[in-house]
Amino acid sequence: MTGSRLGATALILAWLTPAALAQQPAQPAKPPTAAQPAKPPAAAAQPAKPPAAAPKAATAALQPTLLGQYGDWGAYAATPGGKKVCFALAKPKTAKTEPEGRKRDPSYLFVSTRPAENVKNEVSIIIGYPFKTSSDATAEIGSAKFAMYTQNDGAWIKNVAEEVRMVDAMRKGADLTVKGTSGRGTTSTDQYSLKGLAQALDKIEQECK
């Protein structure tokens, strides 16, 4: 189960930058992509880099399709290796760290469905930094609190039997707060809006039966 979750999260993580851009085209996240054309000259000077570009091209060919934008959530589908994957994705409305100003990558919350693996509505969090080894993260929705086990920069619900309850709480809730601790001791608090999640989940359920 753990290996399956890690593999699926890594796959979606490879899509996240373009997916997030498709979801929020007005965000100032575009400048980094505009800056990327500066890389090819460096690649030309170092013949070792072109092979690394090949996987990117393959990934681009399998980019997920935006099925629809629902409130703060985007619904996506892709078919890597002929196996359909659908997921609902959101970025946090607010992201805080303590101490303030610590550098971290973007964080995301997504709920994925993979029919070929009999997986439905699996909740995953990408926190934007390597979690403290053997530490848990927490996800809070109203009065409900869920422990999340961590590995590298990802987190998943610790008690899989509670995942259905968690998703139900997410469908009905207004927001979800994720708290975690990095390997450097930095604590983070990210708050996600749950507006539109129910509709996004309904859409991916229709697409990935």
Q: Note whether 15 and 8 are within 8 A (CB).
A: no
Burial of 201: CB neighbours in 10 Å, binned 0-12, 13-18, 19+: buried
- In this structure, what DSSP letter does residue 63 have? P
Above 50 in pLDDT, residue 105?
A: yes
Total number of domains in the chain? 1
| CATH code at position 32 | 2.60.40.1880
Mean pLDDT, to the nearest integer, of 71-96? 94
Domain that residue 189 falls in: 2-207
Mean pLDDT of the chain: 81
Six token digits for residue 151: 């590995």
How does pLDDT run across 55-76, given as a tens digit for each residue?
443 444 468 999 999 999 999 9
